[in-house]
Structure 1
Amino acid sequence: MSEQTPVVVIVDAQTPGNVGTIARSMKNFGFSELLLVDPPELDPDGEAYGFAGQAREDVLPNARETTFEAVLEAYHTVGFTAVTNEDETSHVRFPFKTPRELAESLAERSGPTALVFGREPTGLHNEELAQLDEICAIPASESYPVLNLGQAATIALYELRNVTLGETQLPDRTGSVADPADVERFHEHVAQFLESIEYAPEKRAKTQRLVRRLLGRAKPTGQELVTLRGVMRQAVTRNRE
């Protein structure tokens, strides 16, 4: 594992399924080393492995048990908690970073880092939070800011994915913009279409300008222009019948 890749620490998880869920999220977003403080029993035939997906093959079976004190000694620690109604006078949780802000700062630091997630019912205790180097909180509704342990870890690891995976390249979701020559042929087709349907001659030039402006903003693909030309051809055919 690269020194730049943070380890994930789960403290006193009560539910094996949440451990499996976090392991799966780690696999999704490029994290591989899982440390467990006071873990529940992780039966290979139980819910932890059932929830882990493909992480049952590497992340979960390679998880190591450790102590909270050992994590403090070996890593730069980031604790995760909910945003509460406390203010800047409560030094346990303030100041804090959001996961996105944390991603930016971790990308610039060197040395081993541990992302520390707490127990289901209460999260990390204030005494534990006070010993960590940084606090990260996931902003949520003021009326119900508490997140499930596995849910919180999944959100955080997703936001931190650039630390492990780099800038994720998404496939082109828009298609390639039509060639300028195809666009001009389309405008010629529009002129022929207006003539074919006996559109008012005095309005044709203005209408063609409007169509040109519209296509300029829309940046249509070649396939979209082919479809529109097909619609116009069919309209002309129906008009002649």
Structure 2
Amino acid sequence: MEKVIEILNLTKTYGNGRGIYDLNLDIYKGDIFGFLGPNGAGKTTAMKIMTGLIRPENGDVKILGHSVIEEYEKAMAKVGCLIEIAESYQFLSAFENLKQIARYYPDVDYKRIDEVLELTGMYKFKHEKTKKFSLGMKQRLGLAAAVLSRPKVVILDEPLNGLDVEGMIDIRKMIQSLAEKEQTTFFISSHLIHDVELTCNRIGVIYNGRILNVENTDAILKNYATLENYFVSEVERNGRVSSSAS
């Protein structure tokens, strides 16, 4: 299997004692990797380091063989991402927002903009100004922006936040389709256990800034009734929380 993302001994701590400690992960081509953990577990910190928004105290991240710290432009050249909140120019339409982003990518034309708007269920709103959008619509537009350039790697921090049930299903189908048809690799963080179970083929549990285990979703569900049961078992086995913490 082709290794696409390597997280090597990654450490970043804050004054309140939170952070991440000696994270090591390998993500492979075509993976939909679910980074599962509660709020405050360290998911966003890790993903901000992965996308160059903050620097670690120790360790490195390599994307497609390039260090995010030493070769940032090369590492991020084929990466799409959405970290935390999906931002937009409120007085521009959905189409116009994506047109601004498309200026950075010579191979992205207006046809591609329409394609990603269709993929994310936003085509019918393409001419509406984003100031009128709901949280879920803004999230869909942010996801359209993340896949606009046909990236080989997509990093998404809580991508289903703000989406209704229909939106969750649409985005899940989009992610699974891109992974299957184009071998796009997804790294997705979430605290929504059920959605991770339905979306991801591999799962890493993070708790208190440390990776507890990484396993294939199919293997987990052969041994546990649900991903929630697996999560509780992992944190209990590692002496982290009681069974009521899920």
Same fold (TM over 0.5): no
TM-score for both structures, normalised by structure 1 = 0.28
- Larger of the two Rg values belongs to structure: 1
Q: Which has the higher strand share?
A: 2
By relative contact order (CA 8 Å, sep 6+), the higher-ranking structure is 2
Q: Which has the higher helix share?
A: 1
TM-score for both structures, normalised by structure 2 = 0.27
